[in-house]
Structure 1
Amino acid sequence: MATTEAVPGPAAVRRRSLLRPLAFTATLAVVLGLLFGVPWWSLVMAGNDWPVGVRVAGTVVFAVALVVFPVSMFLGHGRRVDWAARTGDTILGAVWILFVWAIAGDLLRLALLAGGVDDPVRSRVAAGFTAVVALGLGLWGYREAMRVPRVRRVEVRIPRLGAGLDGLKIVQLTDTHYGPIDRIAWSKGVTEVVNSLGADIVAHTGDIADGTVGQRTGQAAPLGDVRAGLARVYVTGNHEYFGEAQGWLDHMQQLGWEPLHNRHIVVERGGDRLVVAGVDDRTAAGTGLEGHRADHALALEGADRELPVLLLAHQPKQIDAAVEYDIDLQISGHTHGGQIWPFHYLVRIDQPVVQGLTRHGARTQLYTSRGTGFWGPPFRVFAPSEITEITLRAAER
């Protein structure tokens, strides 16, 4: 007997439309309450027995930060107001570091309790531990984020690579995130390091900027001075689709780069050839931009299937399609290596790899960079940035 599914009536639809924003607001309130409340309690209240003035001052600082944070994030990233983005991002990074180490401080408090140490000494020692470690890591993390990245060198053996291409050097940039903090000097420093490496191919695997071309032209300008013996290639990341993806593709072409917008080129050295292909970010299809989607078939259309293939794809999650299309090496970014420890555990829920060289299937390898720049909070804690030098090696004879 045929059955029919009940169609929700107008009242049910209205209830759902009301519940969704309420659920979102409640979830946000809980997250913010924990993020700000845990360090407030550990540092200011608990069993510290601080003078009243200290407790009041500490409470006011956390309360003001709690109010300023969502407003500045909305203005900064919703309305693209740079000063607000700088404020919100800095608060986010600082409170995340405090939250993590306040939990560690609470564990120390429990250990001291087990050891017979009474309050207020017990809680003051735990609070002091949290404050000193968080401050130290914050200052160090800021320096790590703002410095020109170190070079990370990796060798990848490609069995199908011809002898003429043995030793081919690829320099990867990714997640530069030119944004509300003006980093023109940093960008020039990155270009100087890249040019010192004598790359055959320089590849930028997306998230070039947070903002439009007009907003970030100055920071991106040094990319026009990058040198490569055979090719400079670029693909979009998810953040391009928050702004103007096509604008960045066009601008990179004006700077002399090859935008691999679901297309490929072929490079040759010593009589052997390599296909260098690129696909749009996996989020591109959902943006509604005409012609923007991750299309491996289009990217490889007309390519000699006997040749080895280097694929640029922003997210490690795109590796499944690379395996399907017998790609030899995919290079990606997106994860930032977690950026601020221990956020990499959350990244791992969404992505198959956080950083480094991994194998997928019989042929395909994936290299995931920790990123050249940073997004949002100007901190990197236990997740250093990198300019990656990848040397391709032919099969052992």
Structure 2
Amino acid sequence: MSSAVVLIVIVLVLAVMLAVPWWVLVAGPTGRSGSWFRVGTAACVLGGVGLPIALFLGHGPPQFDPAAIVGDVALGVLWVVFTWSVIGLVVRGALSVGRVRGARVTQGIALGVVVVSVVLSGYGLYEARRVPQVRTVDVAIPGLAEGLDGLRVVVLTDTHFAALDRERWSRQVVDEVNAQRPDIVGLAGDLVDGSVDKRRDQVAPLAGVEAPLGRFYITGNHEYLDDAQSWIDYMASIGWQPLHNAHRTVDRDGDRLVVAGIDDPAGTDVAGHGPDLPAALAGTDPQLPVVLLAHQPKQVADSAAAGVELQISGHTHGGQIWPFHYLVRLDQPVVAGLSRHANNTQLYTSRGTGYWGPPLRVFAPSEITVLVLHPDR
């Protein structure tokens, strides 16, 4: 898809996202006249012009962090207002069918949309910025040695360190991870948005993660928006083991498990990158179960074909801001949680530890996941 087509699509989407709230919150309640109508219309026009500019300055070639912060917050709030404006239209239509209509109804619905949007935006900001809750899930693994029963795999993913400085949050996440007494920690991609020079300080606390059997990292699609190899090298420099289409065999008292990782499909256009599951599993003992880090849930099709016992993914954010998960589901087989696929391959999809873009999470809380492995008896 050409850049011109992408730009046109973005402009049209933003136009619709602004037009619906304008109709519900401005045009309808004012009867399209008066000072509030003029002020509201001007604000929508200003948003229609300013938001694309802020997003371009923040996420385009300028990489101007203050613009990214303004644009991302505005986009997240706009999505919430748009969603509830659509719901407001549906309610208004239903009431109209029942012959309940008039200026007071229109104004009451507009007020309701504003109140709900303000509350959910505030809640979403809090939910995105807090230290994620710990979610513990028991997973039965065929072929897992009895000596590895209870093995604790802590999953981080989609931290997306970006324009908003979250160094303190990063340290708090490390403390929470270590409190879970992990045997293994896996970071399943989308570590950052930006270069090592710009985001190093936010990522550096991850050096403090403690896991006696290994700390493993794979790339997500967002690493490939900048320089994925630089992040692979940096993570190695702070003691993590990048699984760049590779595996490691971990051992506890003679009982073993394969931990493998593959690149995100976004790396296909980068020389030496791109997912290569056969390479990642080459040389593994076929008698040992495999836990695979693969950023996108849809990579499970290849994992199932290869007989992988458990794939760990992120990418979806659980939808991040309701009801975006319905759109995510069009692209991915699973949005969140533990699921079973062909050949008894299991997939755990994390809702993510951080957030991307808008610093909001609405009805899609972030998580630090503890997968407790058990033999499938």
The normalised TM-score by structure 2 is 0.97
Task: Look up the match of 1:61.
Answer: 43
1:257 counterpart residue number = 240
Match of 1:139 in 2: 122
Does residue 1:73 correspond to 2:55, yes or no? yes
- Distance in 2 (alpha carbons) for counterparts of 1:25 and 1:165: 51
Conserved 8 A contact 1:323-1:363: yes
Distance in 2, matches of 1:45 and 1:261, equals 54
User: How many angstroms apart in 2 are the aligned matches of 1:38 and 1:50?
Assistant: 14
Q: 1:189 is matched with which residue: 149, 161, 172?
A: 172
Q: CA deviation digits over 1:1-47, x for unaligned, max 9?
A: xxxxxxxxxxxxxxxx9xx6665554333322211110011101124
Structure 2 residue aligned with 1:13 = none
Out of 276, 281, 284, the residue aligned to residue 267 of structure 2 is 284
1:38–1:102 contact (8 Å) kept in structure 2: yes
Which whole-Å deviations, capped at 9, do the CAs of 1:37-94 have from their partners, x for residues lacking one? 1001110112444871211111122111111111111111112111111111111111
- CA positional deviation for 1:114: 3.4
- Go from structure 1 to structure 2 and tell me whether the alpha carbon gap of 1:237 and 1:22 turns closer, same or farther (over 3 Å shift): closer
Paired residue for 1:173?
156
Equivalent position of 1:314 in the other structure: 295
The Cα shift of 1:279 comes to 0.5
* CA distance, structure 1, for counterparts of residue 184 and residue 90 of structure 2: 49
The 3 A distance-change label for structure 1 pair 92 and 154 is: same
What is the RMSD computed on CA atoms of the aligned residues? 1.5
1:323 matched to which residue of 2?
304
What is the 5 A alignment of 1:312-391?
Answer: 312-391=293-372
Per-residue Cα deviation, 1:151-195 (whole angstroms, up to 9, x for no partner): 011010012100011100000000000000001111111001001
Hey, what's the Cα distance between the residues in 1 that align with 2:340 and 2:193? 31
Q: Does 1:94 align with 2:43?
A: no
Whether 2:245 is the aligned partner of 1:266: answer no
Query: Is 1:210 the equivalent of 2:203?
Result: no
Whether contact under 8 Å (1:48, 1:119) holds in the other structure is no
Q: Is the 8 A contact 1:198 1:229 kept in 2?
A: no
1:230-249 mapped onto 2 (5 Å cutoff): 230-249=213-232
* 1:121-153, Cα deviation, whole Å (9 max, x unpaired): 011011011101111100001100000000011
Give the counterpart of 1:129 among 112, 116, 129.
112
SS of 2:55's partner is: helix
Kept in 1, the 8 Å contact 2:28–2:107? The answer is no
Q: Does the 8 A contact of 1:173 with 1:371 survive in 2?
A: yes
Which one-letter code corresponds to 1:68 in the other structure?
Answer: G
Aligned to 1:354, the other structure's residue is in SS state coil
The answer as to 2:139 corresponding to 1:150 is no
Confirm whether residue 106 of structure 1 aligns to residue 89 of structure 2.
yes
Q: Distance in 1 between matches of 2:3 and 2:223?
A: 27
Q: What does residue 39 of structure 1 align with?
A: 21
Give the deviation of 1:118 after TM superposition: 3.5
Contact 1:48–1:121, Cα closer than 8 Å, also in 2: no
Q: Secondary structure at the match of 1:294?
A: coil
SS in 2 for 1:264: strand
* Whole-angstrom distance in 1 between the partners of 2:332 and 2:301: 11
Amino acid of the structure 2 residue aligned with 1:122: V
Q: What is aligned with 1:3?
A: none
8 Å CA contact 1:172–1:389 kept in 2: the answer is yes
How many angstroms apart in 2 are the aligned matches of 1:65 and 1:354? 31
CA distance in 2, matches of 1:69, 1:235: 33
Is the CA contact 2:159–2:192 (under 8 Å) kept in the aligned structure 1? yes
Q: Secondary structure at the match of 2:155?
A: strand
Task: Give TM-score, length-normalised by structure 1.
Answer: 0.92
Judged with a 3 Å threshold, the aligned counterparts in structure 2 of structure 1 residues 298 and 188 are, in CA distance, closer, same or farther, namely same
Secondary structure of 2:100's match?
A: coil
Q: Which runs of 5+ in 2 are unaligned?
A: none
SS at match of 2:347: strand
Q: Which amino acid aligns with 1:27?
A: V
Secondary structure in 2 aligned to 1:46? helix
> Measured at CA, do residues 342 and 302 of structure 1 come closer, stay the same or move farther in structure 2, by a change above 3 Å?
same
SS in 1 for 2:231: helix
Change (3 A) 1:137 1:195: same
What is the rounded CA distance, in whole Å, between the counterparts of 2:16 and 2:368 in structure 1?
A: 36
Given that 1:47 and 1:119 are in contact with CA atoms closer than 8 Å, whether structure 2 keeps it comes out as no
Q: Which has the larger radius of gyration?
A: 1
- The structure 1 residue matched to 2:285, chosen from 300, 304, 320, is 304
Give, in whole Å, the separation in 2 of the partners of 1:211 and 1:28: 22
SS at match of 1:45: helix
| Overall identity of the aligned pairs, in % | 50
1:137, 1:381 within 8 Å by CA — same for their partners in 2?
yes
SS in 2 for 1:90: helix
Quickly say closer, same or farther: Cα 1:107–1:259, change in 2 above 3 A: same
